[in-house]
Chains A and B, each alone.
Chain A
Amino acid sequence: MTVEPDLATRVSAGDRRALARLITWIEEDDPRAHAALAALYPRTGRAHIVGVTGAPGTGKSTLVSALAAEERKRGRTVGIISIDPSSPFSGGALLGDRIRMMEHIADPGVFMRSMASRGSVGGLSVATSDAVRALDAFGRDVVFVETVGAGQAEIDIVRTAHSVIVIEAPGLGDEIQAFKAGILEIADVFVVNKADREGADKTANALKVMLDVGNTMKQRRSGGPARVVGPSAAELAYHGAPAAGRAGPHDPPEDPVEWRPPILKTVAAERRGVLEVVDALDAHWRHLRESGTITQRERERVEDEVRQLLGRTLTRRCIEASGAERYAALVDAVTARALDPRGAVEALIGAWRGVARGVARGAQRKEAD
């Protein structure tokens, strides 16, 4: 057996081939990835994770590429994960986000990886979190996760980021679609890209109106503004400066002023407005840390991940415990209306419990010996 330095060590030493292989194993749910990630876990938690989402054609890849260039100018290393959908029919995927990111290929400070959604909703979120963690352990200062904002699963993925950019573009007729998808609530920074096109102001105004409405409703629900900072401060905070920075010295730190997502206009293909987006990301990152929101977000993120992992692991173990044949028979029974879906789930859980009890008995016997 050849002795090669273990994968985790190579990743933390900055070996990009090891990082690439680790992400492959993560995607394949290979036990070797689990071991490496466990070893790397203490080294993670340092990167600023930025989710980028929006409808197809809004210019996500172009913006991410431009943001990466600006981050590099500020002396930070960058990791990028771009997710494109797998075909539900062939299981294959065409991953084309690299086309817009090739400018960074010669820069060792940018590592980019394309991931296909591979059809499994929970699995994708878990694999994405793990891939982000791999980039974090690799030492990247900023990690961008780019995804097509076309469904709940994608929203779940970007929601796990520290900061979320939602991109709109004028003339797509999708303003209302975006509001429907609940995408407004997850944004920390709004970008109206392709702002040189007609209708950019209209799109920005529509966003502003929707944000104002959302904010008024929030205040009504909580019986008025949590803390009156005055309309001028609120108005100022609107454009991205972290309002927390203006809090007086006597304000308790556990009562942070709410972050109001700025609406920024860019022409990413020409690098216009990109500086301001990175400024806003920096301001949001600062806001998260200074207000203590980061701790809460991180806890929510971790909980979300643990739950997803639990669901996925239990699913696999239950199916394994019942065996492929019995599993297929249960599915057939549900299809034939002989059993309801919950009944099938109970049967699968029962099978897993049986196996778990068997293992426990085995352990007891061993102890008795």
Chain B
Amino acid sequence: MDRIPNKNMTETKKIRVLIAKPGLDGHDRGAKVVARALRDAGMEVIYTGLRQTPEMIVEASLQEDVDCIGLSILSNAHGALFPRIVELLRAEGRSDILLFAGGIFPDEDVPEIKRLGFRGVFGPGSDTRDIAEFIRTEIAARGPVRG
């Protein structure tokens, strides 16, 4: 069965995900692993590379018309960068985009990140299948994709 091209191919609604690394840390192994896993889960993943400003991330997500943004951060700069990204998305009228975060966050920061509107926060050791499942479930709950 595996050798037969997947029926997803003919499905016209695709989940589009932007994976971005805001801030200055140069470690993108985790972001790349997640990007690859989401591709294998049948999603279209736009990867923007390292050292992105909130403005760059929001502009790219607008042009790519994504359903979901995953932000990977290891530099502990989320306190400054995440609120800015949420604010810019709101200003562009795209608060509907699903947000999740990956990386290392102090436990006490997680509630604040979730309060900002990040529906998922995935720390080290997270199963990429769980991330894919999370995205699928969240998008499905929002009704028809980009309807």
Contacts and interface: CB of A to CB of B under 8 A. Distances in A.
Most buried by B among A16, A92, A98, A112: A92
B92 A91 contact: no
A23 interface: yes
A113 B41 contact: no
Interface residues of A, number: 35
B130 interface: no
B12 A90 contact: no
Interface string B1-43: 0100111111111101000000000000000000110111111
Given A24-B146, A99-B49, A102-B56, A91 B8 contact: yes
B92 A17 contact: yes
A105 B38 contact: no
B112 interface: no
Given A28-B13, A106-B56, A113-B64, A21 B47 contact: no
Interface string A15-30: 0110011011101111
A100 to B, nearest CB: 8
Contacts of A112: 63
Contacts of A116: 14, 44
B42 A92 contact: yes
Q: How large is the interface on B (under 10, 10 to 19, 20 to 34, 35 or more residues)?
A: 35 or more
Nearest to B32: A94
Interface in B36-83: 36, 38-49, 52, 55-56, 59-60, 62-65
B93 interface: yes
Given A21-B146, A86-B9, A91-B8, A96 B63 contact: no
Given A90-B40, A91-B6, A98-B60, A27 B14 contact: yes
Contacts of B63: 16, 20, 111-113
Chain B binding surface, main DSSP class: mixed
Contacts of B2: 89
A118 interface: yes
Contacts of A94: 35-36, 39, 45, 47
Nearest to B57: A105
B46 A98 contact: yes
26 contacts: A17-B62, A17-B92, A20-B62, A30-B12, A86-B9, A87-B39, A87-B40, A88-B6, A89-B6, A90-B41, A91-B9, A91-B42, A92-B43, A94-B36, A94-B45, A94-B47, A95-B46, A96-B47, A98-B60, A99-B47, A102-B48, A102-B56, A111-B63, A112-B63, A116-B14, A116-B44
Q: Which 10 A-B pairs have the closest CB atoms?
A: A91-B8, A119-B9, A99-B49, A92-B39, A20-B65, A88-B5, A28-B12, A24-B65, A94-B39, A92-B42
Interface of B: 2, 5-14, 16, 35-36, 38-49, 52, 55-56, 59-60, 62-65, 92-94, 146
Interface of A: 16-17, 20-21, 23-25, 27-30, 86-96, 98-99, 102, 105-106, 111-114, 116, 118-120
